[in-house]
Amino acid sequence: MASLPPVEDRYRLLVDAITDYAIYMLDGDGFVTSWNAGAQRFKGYAPAEILGEHFSRFYTDEDRAAGTPARALRTAAEEGRFEQEGWRVRKDGAQFWAHVVIDPVRSPSGELVGFAKITRDLTERKKAEETLRRSEQQFKLLIQGVTDYAIYMLDPTGRVNSWNAGAARIKGYAPDEIIGEHFSRFYTEEDREAGDPARALATAAAEGRFEKEAWRVRKDGSRFWAHVVIDAIRDDEGDVIAFAKVTRDITERMENQRALEEAREALFQSQKMEAIGQLTGGIAHDFNNLLMAVLGSLELVKKRTPYDPRITPLIDNAMQGAQRGAVLTQRMLAFARKQELKMEVVDVPSLVRGLMNFLDRTIGPNIEVNMRFPGDLPRAHTDPYQLEAALMNLAVNARDAMPAGGSITISAKAERLGDHATLAPGDYVRLTVADTGNGMDAETLARATEPFFTTKGVGKGTGLGLSMVHGLAAQSGGCLSMTSRPGEGTQVELWLPVATAAGLGVPAVEAQDSLAGTGRRLLILAVDDDNLVLTNTAAMLDDLGHEVIVASSGREALEILRGRPDIDLIVSDEVMPNMTGSQFAQAVRRAHPGLPVIITSGYADLPPDAASAGLPRLAKPFGQTDLALFVNEIMDRQVAGAA
């Protein structure tokens, strides 16, 4: 067995075997006196090249100029140790990052005899640290550069310890105003009282993530709709050491979504109302035809029957019932916007004053009715009779909302509109009916103009009153608006267009009270696909002293005309299969240009070509008096035109 070398030789062998550390000796002045294999590997010098050289050559020019080598030796001698990390230089001039330790070497008597120097090459670690530092710096710049998201850190208790530019923009706080503060200040007072901030952190800690959309509060107290994500950050042991919080302001998206939903709801309501309107208009049209037969027949029966106390009151009662049915159909047609309007120039204050006595009797003594009209109020363009009915409806509704009494104020004001959501630009009369009644909540107010919707008891309302008012306003070229709150009454505004200068001088047609004829017996062609209505119309004309020929369709009537050129007048229904009344009238005008045609219809809307042709129209249901007056007027025009 070989013997071990002396202790000194063993230490030398140990030091020379180390290649990961440069271990060498310096004399008291800093000159190299020993050199191991690690030093040769790190610094590139062979022992023969470096022994006896000063160690300062391993330093950069900047460090040598700054006196760093001498300072290192002095520190080691005075303090017993010098330790530092810094750049060092290899033989080829390349630099490496080194960890340096210099220890003083002293004799047994304490005299400084040199220095022991250990150097480790940490270039790879330095590069990794530098890469990490740059990455962290870039990440910090990235976070700070984000302005559309609030990105910040919370400590485990929820206090803010970082703040990016997006957080400052969205929430309004500068970093020095918010760092160190608790994040709960971003929550609404209601959410704080409900414990939402603590619950959010608890959820993130337990599940790793918390996500929610809710209202948040800015520095100025304003609210915004936020999408919030909180992620838990854990150490190597799995303990929560922080939370990463990302908040996005999605108020605009939420408002756009709400607007889209409102638009969809409005479209759905519009389609629903259109469908109900079509159905209502069709029912009202058919009902009008039935009422025509009932009213006309009863009127003729009463006229031809001597008074009998047992029979005549029953006829009157039946006629009143049929007339009430006619009012109901007018309301249904008003809702469907198909009622016949007789547009005139209306002096609103005069019309309301004319209603006052009737209103007082209808409303009752415990409700005060007031009027407020400016002296220069322009005249409106609408149907005065429908407007009277609309005001009566509104007054009755107001009365029913004030069972303990109150007041109704009817007022009007001139308004000029530019850009408006529903009305065309122009001048309008805003007619207002306001009461001091119970008012309506938002849900009731939203449904108030729906057909058949009523808050009155069973049998006390049709639910068509406001629908009729709404239809009148729309057909007149205006609109209806309502405001109401529980306990604060209701205000209904009826916007009506101002009458143009061209229409101000046109007087309303005065009703005549007689059934005076045209002075001669007429040959009249009556056309209607409904046999009940046709029989009724023919009977009324016959009773007026005219000769009547009947046809159940436009085509049949045209065949009759070919053989009877002596016909004086045609009375035709509008709504007929295969050929409408207006189409039939146009065919008549082509074959018989001078032959007058009266169109009868419960609908207000005729085809555009018929309307432009100026066809005279008699609204259903009509009585014998209405028919007689209309026939007389048309024939008088005919005579005047011939003259």
- pTM: predicted TM-score of the whole model, two decimal places: 0.41
- What is each CA distance from 636 to 440, 597, 630, in whole angstroms? 53, 14, 10
Q: Identify the weakest region by mean pLDDT among 352-356, 395-399, 512-516.
A: 512-516
Task: For 151-179, write each residue's pLDDT tens digit.
Answer: 888 999 999 998 888 889 999 999 999 99
Of the two residues 446 and 15, the one the predictor is more confident about is 446
CATH 3.40.50.2300 domain extents, the chain = 523-642
Q: How far is residue 470 CA from its own chain's centroid?
A: 23
Predicted confidence band at 460 (pLDDT cuts at 50, 70, 90)? very low
Q: Which residues contact 149 (CB under 8 A, 6 or more apart)?
A: 164, 166, 170, 246, 247, 248
Strand order from edge to edge, sheet including 240-249: 149-154, 240-249, 223-234, 209-217
Instruction: Tell me how far apart the terminal alpha carbons of the chain are, to the nearest angstrom.
Output: 158
Query: The CATH number of 523-642 is which of 3.40.50.2020, 3.40.50.2300, 2.40.50.140, 3.50.50.60?
Result: 3.40.50.2300
| Mean pLDDT of the residues in the chain | 81
Please tell me the predicted confidence (pLDDT) of residue 155.
93
Q: Tell me what percent of the residues of the chain surpass a pLDDT of 70.
A: 80
What architecture is domain 146-249? 2-Layer Sandwich (3.30)
pLDDT value for 505: 41
The CA-atom distances, in angstroms, between 537 and each of 121, 529, 623 are: 118, 12, 9
Topology, domain 344-503: Heat Shock Protein 90 (3.30.565)
Total residue count of the chain as it appears in this document: 643
Domain with CATH 3.30.565.10 in the chain: 344-503
> What residues contact residue 435 under an 8 Å CB cut-off, 6+ apart?
398, 401, 402, 406, 407, 408, 409, 489, 490, 491
Lowest mean pLDDT among 18-32, 54-68, 270-284, 555-569: 270-284
Check whether 351 has a pLDDT greater than 60.
Answer: yes
pLDDT at 509: 38
DSSP letter (8 states) at residue 620: S
Encode pLDDT of 482-539 as tens digits.
Answer: 888 888 888 888 889 998 754 444 343 333 344 444 457 899 999 998 888 888 888 8
Q: What is the pLDDT of residues 195-204, one digit of tens each?
A: 999 999 999 9
User: What one-character DSSP code corresponds to residue 456?
Assistant: S
Phi, psi (degrees; rounded to nearest 5) at 125: -65, -40
CB 357 within 8 Å of CB 369:
no
Cα atoms in the 13 Å half-sphere on the side-chain side of 494: 31
In the chain, which segments carry CATH 3.30.450.20? 7-123, 146-249
pLDDT the model gives residue 9: 52
d(CA 572, CA 637): 18
Q: Tell me the pLDDT band of 49, cut-offs 50, 70 and 90.
A: very high
Q: Homologous superfamily of 7-123 in CATH? A: PAS domain (3.30.450.20)
Mean pLDDT over 21-38 rounds to 90
Q: Which two tokens stand for residue 399?
A: 């009365």
Tokens at residue 131, please?
Answer: 């890469």
